[in-house]
Structure 1
Amino acid sequence: MVRAWYMDDDLQSDQRLEHHRNPPVYIDLNTLFELTGVRYFKFDLRSSKMQDELNILKKDRGYSYEDEIVCSKECLPDYENKLKIFYEEHLHTDEEIRFVLEGSGYFDVRDAKDEWIRIQVEACDLIIIPAGIYHRFTLDTRNFIKAKRYFVGEPVWKPYNRPVDEMACRRLYLECLKNKFK
């Protein structure tokens, strides 16, 4: 099961570490959604029922394109610089959907108080990061993740680095946040 927690403020140590507060402050999935709009699903594709449920989710949300990405020193050209780019705080105009096939990593998202929440993902986890939320990604110390990326229509993956509060997707996200994503 996915784990989420508030992060410490240590900017000096390795971004791939867990970065728990002392004492740790964990967040359950319902609270994670209320605080950020992030959705989480678990799909063990060894089960045909789970495969069917994933296909229903993809259809219901309009995901019509998918590809795979592998992040590791061996597979990702310019690995160190790519990890730095993924870890820069940014947003997208569309949802960011990742279904982890192998490996693990962290998505960090901002809550309404502008505090970082770290979400650990591993095999069988599907996470939907809403359009307009400031976030970032990093691998964990295992340095490997293989994931499917889903898109509505043609893939658009353009990050807009903070600050871009004037963007329509950011304003819409803040309105949804204010209304608790109802």
Structure 2
Amino acid sequence: MRAYYMDNDPSDQRLAHDSGRAVDAETLDALGVLRWHIPVDPEGKWESEVDAIANERHYKNRDVVVVNKEGMGDQFEATLKKFYHEHMHEDEEIRYVIEGGGYFDVREAPTDEWIRLHVGSGDMLVLPAGIYHRFGLDMGMKSRTMRLFKDEPKWIAHNRGVDTDVNPFRVDYLKALQSKGVAVGA
């Protein structure tokens, strides 16, 4: 997994858009972004490592989502647009990339800059509830990803806006950042 600030070029979201400014582990830690690299191996050892993290974080359910043109047909472009729209969730978002790759973009506090996390096979990521983010595929144009859930599988996005800015999960996220000494602005 590679983390860097985006270059703010609005062209094709599948491109790297690397500003040349790397983001260090401390910055991601301060934002509450957790990450692991667990190589996908033919023997399936990765599954026990993913299970251990899931158990530690009290995840009870999971599914696997395949995002590619072949499998999704006419829904492919609409689904990518939905994922790439800036949003937050009221629960952690935890993903393990089995195959393919893409970008999780997260908003940094207090700058509101996009930090791009390029994920690929074997990368596991936890985004905290309340963090603004989005997802897009990279130039490989495919991803097979395990999603983990504390309860029943659900994916409810709250698109960024005035109402979302005061959502209790967003407010709690900002308070958690402040308790870590991160300035979050007005």
Pair in the same fold by TM > 0.5: yes
Q: What's 1:123 paired with?
A: 121
SS where residue 84 of structure 1 aligns?
Answer: helix
Alpha-carbon distance, 1:170 to partner: 0.2
Alpha-carbon distance, 1:179 to partner: 1.9
Q: Determine the C-alpha separation between the residues in 1 that align with 2:106 and 2:46.
A: 27
- Contact (CA 8 Å) 1:101, 1:146: kept in 2 or not? yes
Q: What's 1:79 paired with?
A: 76
- Contact (CA 8 Å) 2:5, 2:114: kept in 1 or not? yes
- Contact (CA 8 Å) 1:5, 1:20: kept in 2 or not? yes
Say whether residues 1:37 and 2:32 are aligned partners.
Answer: yes
Q: Determine the C-alpha separation between the residues in 2 that align with 1:48 and 1:180.
A: 37
Report the CA distance shift for 1:102/1:45 in structure 2 as closer, same or farther (over 3 A): closer
Q: What's 1:91 paired with?
A: 88
Say whether residues 1:174 and 2:169 are aligned partners.
Answer: no
Q: Determine the C-alpha separation between the residues in 1 that align with 2:47 and 2:69.
A: 30
- Contact (CA 8 Å) 2:40, 2:98: kept in 1 or not? no
- Contact (CA 8 Å) 1:110, 1:133: kept in 2 or not? yes
Q: Determine the C-alpha separation between the residues in 1 that align with 2:45 and 2:77.
A: 39
Q: Between 39-48 and 124-133, report the one with greater CA deviation.
A: 39-48
CA-atom RMSD, angstroms? Answer: 1.8
Q: Determine the C-alpha separation between the residues in 1 that align with 2:80 and 2:5.
A: 21
Alpha-carbon distance, 1:139 to partner: 0.2
**Could you tell me which amino acid in structure 2 is paired with residue 179 of structure 1?**
S
TM normalised by structure 1 equals 0.91
TM normalised by structure 2 equals 0.89
SS where residue 132 of structure 1 aligns?
Answer: coil
**Could you tell me which amino acid in structure 2 is paired with residue 121 of structure 1?**
V
Instruction: Give a deviation string over 1:14-33, Cα, whole Å, max 9, x none.
Output: 01111112xx0011223212
Aligned residues: 177
Q: 2:63 aligns with which of 62, 67, 71?
A: 67
Alpha-carbon distance, 1:43 to partner: 1.3
Q: Kindly, what percent of the aligned residue pairs are identical?
A: 44
Q: Determine the C-alpha separation between the residues in 1 that align with 2:45 and 2:153.
A: 27
Structure 1's unaligned 5+ residue stretches are none
Report the CA distance shift for 1:63/1:162 in structure 2 as closer, same or farther (over 3 A): same
Structure 2's unaligned 5+ residue stretches are 182-186
- Contact (CA 8 Å) 1:29, 1:40: kept in 2 or not? no
Alpha-carbon distance, 1:49 to partner: 6.2
